[in-house]
Amino acid sequence: MKALSKAEPASPEPSWGTQYRLVASEKWKAKSAAMGKAVTEALVEYALPIPGMRVLDLASGTGEPAISLGMRVGAQGQVTALDLSADLLEVAKGRAQERGLDNFITQQADAHALPFAENSFDLATSRFGVMFFRDIGVALRDLHRVLRTQARACFLAWGPSTQPYWESTMGVVHRRVGGPLLPQGGPDPFRFAAPGSLSEVLRGAGFRDVHEETKTLPWTWPGAPEEVWEQMQAVALPFRPMLDRVPPNMWPQIHAEVHAAIAKYVVGENIEFGVTVVLASGSK
């Protein structure tokens, strides 16, 4: 994809619990979970949860990695899934109940003003969420406040936009319609793709023993190109302004080009994109 073009500032707060996203979350929940499985497992292993821990998962959305963490900390532990969207948290709660998790609770709140006392949690996580905190310093300092001494905060963020999953989808649209890939000042999935950038803000918020690494992991959709493209259009909120610029008569061509681009990664009945992510952590 091209470098981001200049654009008018975006509206300050996108609606992460849009109806399109909720419908897509339900329609594609099994396949989305399968695609994200390796990434979720990587963050859980990186976070090193142990039985009895109290864990806070920020921007938890429909429930991962909070659910996986709940299974690891056991009955003596507890996981709080926090998100701005009450609707998405209802989906997360239902998924946790399906797995019989009694140690899983949800909290609708803003990561910039956490409704918890100091020294409340042994571990914090966020999977594909930290990039979207509108004031990263405020959010990380408040997270530091609610962690116990020596507790870790562990994040997983997107690597660069120049990787198969993005190039074969939003990259195709961007090449066709031009203009900004993402609105200036709006949510940016690739905000911490540059090596060291997430570490820098962690240190600035007071975290110590900061660690960062880049990993390439499986990112496999168990189905057809048409499915993964439909799912992405519904959930990729930061790209909505670009998608809204597409003239109606251009959509058939774009759909065909996207399907063809995704098809290059088809292996058997799966689409094997692979994904590059950033893992970063710091201790209080």
Q: Over the stretch 68-94, which tens digit does the pLDDT of each residue have?
A: 999 999 999 999 999 999 988 998 999
Average pLDDT along the chain: 91
Q: Report if residue 7 sits inside a domain.
A: no
- pLDDT in the model for residue 27: 77
Q: Report if residue 12 sits inside a domain.
A: no
25 SS3 class = helix
Which is more confidently placed, 28 or 57? 57
Q: Of 22, 39, 6, which Cα lies nearest the Cα of 215?
A: 39
Q: Report if residue 4 sits inside a domain.
A: no
The label of the residue with tokens 């509108």 reads 134
- pLDDT in the model for residue 6: 27
Q: Report if residue 242 sits inside a domain.
A: yes
Q: Report if residue 8 sits inside a domain.
A: no
Q: Report if residue 11 sits inside a domain.
A: no
Q: How buried is residue 210: exposed, middle or buried, by Cβ count under 10 Å (0-12/13-18/19+)?
A: middle
Spatial neighbors of 97 by CB under 8 A, at least 6 apart, are: none
Q: Report if residue 3 sits inside a domain.
A: no
- Tens of pLDDT, residue by residue over 169-198, are 999 999 999 999 999 888 999 999 999 999
Number of domains the chain contains: 1
Q: What is the pTM of this model?
A: 0.89
Can you spell out the DSSP letters for 209-272? EEEEEEEEE--EESS-HHHHHHHHHHH-GGGHHHHHTS-GGGHHHHHHHHHHHHHTTEETTEEE
Q: Report if residue 13 sits inside a domain.
A: no
* Domain at 263, CATH number: 3.40.50.150
In terms of residue numbers, what domain contains 260? 19-283
- pLDDT in the model for residue 21: 55
